Chains A and B, each alone.
Chain A
Amino acid sequence: EVQLQESGPGLVKPSQSLSLTCSVTGYSITSNYWGWIRKFPGTKMEWMGYISYSGRISYNPSLKSRISITRDTSKNHFFLQLNSVTTEDTATYYCARYGNSWGYWGQGVMVTVSS
């Protein structure tokens, strides 16, 4: 069974970088697409980007040049880095697998941006 697990700091200071890891078990990240989705306080959800089985990456233009998604296929992990964070980046961050729909999700990690 596919399982995803996010990890990373729950508190980040404004202007710093947010870095999260998604550890995947039960399925190789060299198949399908793997991405990051965040849910803001309330109900708004935002697709941030994904990395394909071949390493091709797509980002949400709203995040401009602040975002980077990478992977380590030897560990079956993929990563999110979001630079120059502000309080508006406070959200629950999910990693998920995309295989024509977002069928598998991690449990999410809440990240607060605060000084």
Chain B
Amino acid sequence: DIVLTQSPATLSVTPGESVSLSCRASQGVNTSIHWYQQKSNESPRLLIKFASQSISGIPSRFSGSGSGTDFTLSINRVESEDFSVYYCQQSYSLPHTFGAGTKLELK
């Protein structure tokens, strides 16, 4: 199975800061990495697909980059509604796997 390692586990920020969340794959996955946001008591929401492709309805402050084994989700000027958990997921090979998540919290 492909292991996805997310870092940091927790990121404490103040609104208005810009942040980068990391996802590293145990083997190359091309660009088959997707990012999700999950708020408390809600379902995951797709933010970015295939490493950098935007999703309709997702604010433009969210962007993704990377290929191979190293990927980044960037949030430009964090807003209060962004405090939640972020997951990366790979669809390069079965079984699909998820990272352990990065919790973005208010400093």
Contact = CB atoms under 8 A, between A and B. Distances in A.
Q: Tell whether A and B belong to one assembly.
A: yes
A115 interface: no
Contacts of B97: 47
B98 A103 contact: no
Contacts of A100: 49-50, 91
7 contacts: A43-B103, A45-B98, A45-B101, A47-B89, A61-B95, A103-B55, A108-B43
Contacts, number: 51
Contacts of A103: 46, 49, 55
Interface residues on A, range: 10 to 19
Interface string B85-97: 1010101001111
A64 interface: no
A94 interface: yes
A102 B95 contact: no
Interface residues of B, number: 22
Interface string B74-107: 0000000000010101010011111011010000
A61 B96 CA distance: 11
A65 interface: no
A101 B98 contact: no
A44 B36 CA distance: 13
Contacts of B55: 103
Contacts of A107: 42-43
B83 to A, nearest CB: 15
A62 to B, nearest CB: 7
